[in-house]
């Protein structure tokens, strides 16, 4: 287990050097996206024959940000910063991870299509995402569930928000600049998953406790 | 009767941005038990640091501020309709002040109401009691842990990764509760606290299970058999080694509280409310004109 400081975008070489159990401090631009965002990306960009005219600008933005980048499964609490002109920029108030497994049906395609290097969330993901991580050179970073104020402190700037009206605050794409966002690698690009290993060990313990 | 709206806003603020003393102490103890340098110890360290930041800044401990569940005990003759309106107004104001995230989603259209008010949202339970005091207990229960809650009907045959059979007795209860903890893995933001209800109908079981979450972590169940069950479950759940966040480790749960209601002869339900480490409960009491919080 070692500690790394990584800047986003991340190279394949850096990602391949990570092993499960490593602690990583991420810095750079991260995009939040959860249930509605994943469904939208897959249906509108990946599985559709043509990207609709009025969605092309966002598509180009996401391609730029997610290529070599990181998506964060998070539905933040936000507030408007006061400014002289009235309503100013946004700030993150609380921004811990949400449960990732709900995106399992979409994530492998998103990793592949956008060339993601990292997925941040909690609870881990399944076999298909693990395979995509191996093939594409990506990892699953586990943030500490519920550590919302601490992570919001690591968010230094909210650069943009997309689909806020359509998806609501928790489900929108928030483009944020983070500094030293603490995460643990729980699924690496070599096919190892802490989640699978803990589940197997706990299954053996359960067997012992409930047999008879 | 005075308007309690601002006191209810304060109740919500306290629940969302600070952790009860017993919960924070239990998390400190849990950190001390983990191996030095382990991911589990790191996660608990981050959790404790986060709690301190949230308290300092009056920002939510967790961004999923959950569904607000109000348990109200009121004197004879107090208008529950009026109390409900004041609590609803307080929830909307607390959302406006970013103590709460807008969490009420229309189940048909998918639209978020934006202020945490909606059909059946928040949740209220009213009980009249003999005291002249008004007591409002608030639990903010996040979706991640709500999703790993479970209800079993005994007898139960486990047919997942581990097969077992659980009969209609306390040992059967023990088995299905352990199964639920195993199934939850770290997904309910372990280490967690379980509220368990034995008996009742399906709906009443979950309500009673959540009521257990208000019990202080250090209390002892007055029913000796249930006290024994609580001790056994806590110890055995921690033998699963799921650990904080499911990283593996000593503490999977730091509390198990079990209540029992009478049941129908044909039904034997075990209802399990899993709460994440962020057990956000807070209590307001009004005696005369005096308002106090704990």
Q: pLDDT, tens digit, for every residue of B60-72?
A: 999 899 999 999 9
Q: Which residues from chain B sit within 8 angstroms of residue A153, using beta carbons?
A: 53
pLDDT score of A77? 87
B123 and B243 together in one domain: no
Q: Cα(B272)–Cα(B154) distance, rounded to whole angstroms?
A: 13
φ, ψ for residue B127 (rounded to 5)? -135, 130
B149 and B136 together in one domain: no
B contact test, residue of A207, A210, A211, A212 with most B CBs within 10 A: A210
Number of CB atoms found within 10 A of residue B223's CB = 13
Q: Cα(A58)–Cα(A66) distance, rounded to whole angstroms?
A: 12
Q: From the candidates A4, A5, A38, A190, give the one annotated as an active-site residue.
A: A38
Closest residue in A to B106 (Cα) is A168
Q: Check whether B171 has a pLDDT greater than 80.
A: yes
B146–chain A Cβ distance below 8 A for any pair: no
Model ipTM over 0.90: yes
A contact test, residue of B16, B61, B63, B155 with most A CBs within 10 A: B63
Q: Which residues from chain B sit within 8 angstroms of residue A168, using beta carbons?
A: 102, 105, 111-112, 114
B142–chain A Cβ distance below 8 A for any pair: yes
For chain B, the domain total comes to 2
- Domain assignment of residue A132, given as a range: 3-210
Q: Return per-residue pLDDT of chain A as tens, 212 residues.
A: 789 999 999 999 999 999 999 999 999 999 999 999 999 999 999 999 999 999 999 999 999 999 999 999 999 989 888 876 656 789 999 899 999 999 999 999 999 999 999 999 999 999 999 999 999 999 999 999 999 999 999 999 999 999 999 999 999 999 999 999 999 999 999 999 999 999 999 999 999 999 97
Averaged pLDDT score across all residues of chain B: 96
B289 domain-assigned: yes
Q: Is A147's CB within 8 Å of B47's CB?
A: yes
B172 and B221 together in one domain: yes
B105 and B228 together in one domain: no
B175 and B247 together in one domain: yes
Q: Which of A 163-182 lie inside 8 A of B, CB atoms?
A: 168-171, 182
B160 and B242 together in one domain: yes
Q: Which residues from chain A sit within 8 angstroms of residue B164, using beta carbons?
A: 207, 210-211
Q: Which residues from chain A sit within 8 angstroms of residue B166, using beta carbons?
A: 210
Note the pTM of the prediction, 2 decimals: 0.91
Per-residue three-class SS string for chain B: CCCCHHHHHHHHHHHHHCCCHHHHHHHHHHHHHCCCCCHHHHHHHHHHHHHHHHHHHCCCCCCCCCEEEEEEEECCCCCHHHHHHHHHHHHHHHHHCCCCCCCCECCCCCCECCCCCECCECEEEEEECCCCCEEEEEEEECHHHHHCCEEEECCEEEECCCEEEECCCHHHHHHHHHHHHHHHCCCCCCCEEEEEEECCCHHHHHHHHHHHCCCCCCCCCCCHHHHHHHHHHHHHHHCCCCCHHHCCCCCCEEEEEEEECCCCCCCCEEEEEEECCCCEEEEEEEECCEEEEC
B110 domain-assigned: yes
Closest residue in A to B95 (Cα) is A77
What is the arithmetic mean of pLDDT over B276-289? 96
B47 domain-assigned: no
Closest residue in A to B54 (Cα) is A149
- Domain assignment of residue B253, given as a range: 145-275
B55 domain-assigned: no
pLDDT score of A2? 87
Q: Is there a contact between B93 and B38 (Cβ–Cβ < 8 Å)?
A: no
For chain A, the domain total comes to 1
A197–chain B Cβ distance below 8 A for any pair: yes
Number of CB atoms found within 10 A of residue B207's CB = 18
User: With b meaning 16 or more CB within 10 Å and e meaning fewer, what string describes B75-86?
Assistant: eeebeeeebeeb
B127 and B157 together in one domain: no
Euclidean distance between the first and the last CA atom of chain B, given in angstroms as a whole number = 22
User: Token digits for B111?
Assistant: 């639209």
A contact test, residue of B43, B143, B164, B245 with most A CBs within 10 A: B245
Closest residue in B to A183 (Cα) is B43
Q: Which of A 104-163 lie inside 8 A of B, CB atoms?
A: 122-124, 142, 144-153
B190 and B202 together in one domain: yes
Q: Which of B 196-235 lie inside 8 A of A, CB atoms?
A: none
Continuous segment of H or E residues that includes residue A53: none
B64–chain A Cβ distance below 8 A for any pair: yes
Helix (H, G, I), strand (E, B) or coil at A163: coil
Q: What is the CATH number of the domain that holds A171?
A: 3.20.130.10
B226 domain-assigned: yes
Q: Is A38 a catalytic residue?
A: yes
How far are the Cα atoms of A75, B210, B253 from residue B64, in angstroms, in the given order?
Answer: 8, 18, 20
Å between A12 CA and nearest CA of chain B: 24
User: Token digits for B248?
Assistant: 């593996």
pLDDT score of A85? 61
A183–chain B Cβ distance below 8 A for any pair: no
Number of CB atoms found within 10 A of residue B114's CB = 14
B271 and B150 together in one domain: yes
Interval B84-140: pLDDT, tens: 999 999 999 999 999 999 999 999 998 899 999 999 999 999 999 999 999 999 999
B192 and B98 together in one domain: no
Q: Cα(A84)–Cα(A67) distance, rounded to whole angstroms?
A: 36
Helix (H, G, I), strand (E, B) or coil at A194: helix
Nearest 10 degrees: Cα torsion A201, B209, B235, B224: -150
Q: Is A76's CB within 8 Å of B101's CB?
A: yes
User: With b meaning 16 or more CB within 10 Å and e meaning fewer, what string describes B174-187?
Assistant: bbbbbbbbbbbbbb
Q: Cα(B285)–Cα(B294) distance, rounded to whole angstroms?
A: 8
B91 and B176 together in one domain: no
Residue A193 DSSP code: B
For residue B150, what are the β-bridge partners?
B272
């Amino acid at each position: 287990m070692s500690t790394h400081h990584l800047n986003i975008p991340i190279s394949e070489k850096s990602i391949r050097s990570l092993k499960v159990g490593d602690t990583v401090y991420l810095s750079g631009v991260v995009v939040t996206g959860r249930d509605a965002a994943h469904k939208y990306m897959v249906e509108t960009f990946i599985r559709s024959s043509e990207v609709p005219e009025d969605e092309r600008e966002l598509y180009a933005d996401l391609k730029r940000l997610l290529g070599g980048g990181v998506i964060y499964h998070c539905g933040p609490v936000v507030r408007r910063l006061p400014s002289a002109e009235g309503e100013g920029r946004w700030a993150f108030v609380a921004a811990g991870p949400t449960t990732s497994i709900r995106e399992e049906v979409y994530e492998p395609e998103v990793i592949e299509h956008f060339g993601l290097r990292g997925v941040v969330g909690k609870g881990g993901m399944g076999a298909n995402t693990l395979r995509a991580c191996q093939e594409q050179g990506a990892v699953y970073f586990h943030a500490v569930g519920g550590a919302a104020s601490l992570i919001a402190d690591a968010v230094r700037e909210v650069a943009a928000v997309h689909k806020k009206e359509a998806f609501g605050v928790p489900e929108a794409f928030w483009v944020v600049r983070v500094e030293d966002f603490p995460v643990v690698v729980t699924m690496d690009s070599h096919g190892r998953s802490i989640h699978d290993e803990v589940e197997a060990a706990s299954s053996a313990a359960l067997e012992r406790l409930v047999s008879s | 009767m005075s308007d309690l709206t601002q006191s209810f806003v304060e109740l919500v603020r306290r629940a969302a941005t600070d952790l009860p003393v017993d919960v924070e102490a239990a998390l400190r103890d849990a950190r001390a038990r983990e191996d030095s340098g382990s991911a589990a110890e790191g996660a608990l360290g981050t959790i404790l640091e986060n709690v301190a930041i949230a308290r300092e800044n009056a920002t939510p401990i967790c961004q999923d501020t959950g569904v607000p569940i109000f348990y109200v005990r009121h004197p004879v003759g107090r208008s529950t309709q009026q109390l409900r309106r004041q609590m609803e107004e307080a929830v909307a104001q607390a959302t406006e002040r970013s103590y709460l995230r807008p969490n009420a989603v229309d189940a048909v259209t998918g639209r978020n109401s934006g202020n945490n008010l909606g059909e059946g949202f928040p949740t209220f339970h009213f009980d009249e009691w003999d005291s002249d005091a008004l007591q409002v207990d608030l639990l903010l229960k996040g979706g991640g842990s709500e999703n790993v809650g479970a209800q079993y009907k005994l007898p139960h045959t486990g047919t997942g990764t581990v097969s077992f059979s659980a009969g209609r007795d306390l040992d059967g209860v023990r088995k299905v509760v352990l199964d639920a903890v195993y199934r939850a893995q770290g997904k309910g933001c372990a280490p967690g606290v379980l509220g368990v209800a034995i008996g009742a109908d399906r709906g009443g079981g979950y309500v009673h299970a959540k009521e257990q979450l208000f019990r202080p972590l250090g209390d002892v169940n007055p029913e000796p058999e249930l006290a024994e069950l609580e001790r056994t479950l806590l110890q055995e759940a921690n033998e699963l080694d799921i650990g904080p966040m499911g990283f593996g480790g000593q503490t999977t749960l730091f509390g198990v509280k079990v209540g029992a209601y009478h049941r129908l002869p044909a039904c034997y339900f075990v209802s399990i409310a899993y709460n994440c480490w962020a057990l956000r409960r807070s209590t307001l009491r009004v005696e005369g004109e005096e308002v106090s919080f704990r």
